[in-house]
Amino acid sequence: MIEKIKLLEQKSRELEPASDERDEYLDKVINYSRSFLENIDSLKAYQTTEDNGKGIYDSPISDVPISIDKILDIIKNHVDASGINPASGGHLGYVPGGGIFPSALGDYLADITNKYAGMFYASPGAVRMENMLISWMCEMIGFPAETSAGNLTSGGSIANLVGIVTARDTAKLKSKDFEKAVFYFTEQAHHSAFKALKIAGLGEAVIRKIPVDINFKMKAEALDKQIQSDKKSGLRPFFIYATAGTTDVGAVDPLEEIGEIAKKHNIWFHIDAAYGGFFLLVGEGKKVIKGTEKADSLIMDPHKGLFLPSGSGAILVKDGKKLFNSHHYNASYLQDADKFIEEYSPADMSPELSKHFRGLRMWLPLKLFGLAPFKASLSEKILLTRYFYEQIQRIKGIEVGPYPDLSIMIFRYIPENGDPDKFNEKLVQEIQKDGRIFLTSTRINNTFFIRLAVLNFRVHLNTIELALEIIKKKIKLLSLT
Ligand SMILES: Cc1ncc(COP(=O)(O)O)c(C=O)c1O
């Protein structure tokens, strides 16, 4: 047996490369990332290739190793070459963040030390770091330091799920109550909320879509009326979902009024600030996002407004005990961990047990840069969007949506002849084919609109000028055909 163990050990030790091998891998990976970043301005924001990633399958997982050079080649040709380039400043679609460089250093260190940030006992420092980030966000939105708590999630969708489950359990909703429980949204609520409802077992609950005003914001009065009417019919108004920065147009619902209504009727108030939340760091954002302190729970995504790479969201709950009560579980094999608790452990505040040490990719850049460049970038993005909003209207035939609250807006071109929806659909396709910038579209009240989302930290004035130029050219081209 010893012989066999030794033989296996020899092979298994290959999992621990020697120092010079590590240096070689590091050098090559650093060179690859250096070249990616040095060329970022000329790389397309979107492109398709003939391969479209299929080449990945030519190198199946097997016992046979391949070199780091070959690995980087595969990544370059079959992963990085096609699709959206979320790191590109030209990415003006969906809700981009970009992925600031020091987050990669945080991830690297988190992976090397593999610190377990799930339980206080396992890494008090890592847990304190995550809790400190959560406290900082709670303070930003006006939640009391003494009671509030939260969790760093993989993104807004999971944060929504955690919020909904916490509200469900706090209200002690049982399955027999589900059909009478009422959720209040608007048409503009992010679809992850509805997905979360379904996953939380609440798919049979009553969903009310409260009407929006011309700026796509919830009509608070209509919400109040609907709640009163639901109460009269014996239903159980339970959860209000408002948004601070909708995905379609970046609209901020009237949070203060909604908060008052929630309080009056004793209904859980949840704010989706996945996109808009970090704009609270700047004056322009504070002017439009008012009333977050009235929420019971709120989500915000560092991988959006703090420009982190994908994989960073947050759920914040005013009364952290409620979050804990919904997600805490004991297991006998974890009994040692229970003896050393000075702070909430992330594993008690989310569905996850083993988890990535997400705090480091957020904490490291905040400490390394300080807040000032983040604030400048957020203000810049708001102003760039306003600039685009003004400039795009100089193109004859352009129709715009509401004046942007934050950094997302919609527009469309009305051609002299033909169907505007078809024209704008082709316009988006042409812009994507060009690939230097990437825009996406949406449908509102069954009308096709093009969206501009200015949140990648690499978007600056030159990108916006380029976007205007490309849009102008493509409209001209399509008008001639
Ligand atoms: C307003 C809003 N809420 C929630 C989400 C879901 O967040 P995630 O993609 O991080 O799961 C998004 C995503 O774009 C969003 O824009």
Atom of ligand 1 nearest to the CA of 94: 14
Within a domain: residue 365? yes
Distance 1 CA to ligand 1 centre (A): 54
| pLDDT the model gives residue 331 | 85
Domain end position, chosen among 313, 343, 369: 369
Distance from the CA of 274 to the center of ligand 1, in angstroms? 6
Question: Domain boundary residue among 369, 385, 419?
Answer: 369
- pLDDT tens for 46-93 read 999 999 999 999 999 999 999 999 999 999 999 999 999 999 999 999
CA 436 – CA 45 distance, rounded (Å) = 5
pLDDT digit string, tens, across residues 301-353: 999 999 999 999 999 999 999 999 999 998 888 887 777 788 999 999 999 99
Q: What is the mean pLDDT of residues 257-281?
A: 98
**In the listed set 348, 369, 390, which residue is the last one of a domain according to the structure?**
369
In a domain, 302, yes or no: yes
The two structure tokens encoding residue 169: 């359990």
For residue 449, the enclosing domain spans 372-480
The per-residue pLDDT for 167 is: 98
In this structure, which residue's CA is closest to atom 4 in ligand 1?
156
- Same-domain pairing of 455 and 346: no
Pocket test for ligand 1, best of 243, 247, 362, 408 (most atoms within 8 A of CB): 247
352 and 449 share one domain: no
Is 414 found in the same domain as 275? Answer: no
182 and 292 housed in the same domain: yes
Q: Is residue 208 a contact partner of residue 230, using CB atoms and an 8 Å limit?
A: yes
Q: Which pLDDT belongs to residue 4?
A: 96
- Predicted local distance difference test score (pLDDT) of residue 336: 79
CB-ligand 1 contact for 301 (6 Å cutoff):
yes
Looking at the structure, tell me whether residues 167 and 311 fall in a common domain.
Answer: yes
Same domain? 67 vs 118: no
Query: What's the gap in Å between 2 CA and the centre of ligand 1?
Result: 54
Residues 418 and 387 both lie in one domain: yes
Mean per-residue pLDDT over the chain, rounded = 97
CATH number assigned to the domain comprising residue 130 = 3.40.640.10
- Burial (Cβ within 10 Å: 0-12, 13-18, ≥19) of residue 395: middle
- Residue 305, class by beta-carbon neighbours within 10 Å (0-12 exposed, 13-18 middle, 19+ buried)? buried
Ligand 1 centre to CA of 152 (Å) is 14
Q: Which atom of ligand 1 is nearest to the CA of 276?
A: 1
Identify the band that residue 378 occupies on the pLDDT scale cut at 50, 70 and 90. very high
The total number of structural domains that make up the chain: 3
Based on the domain organization, do 391 and 328 belong to the same domain? no
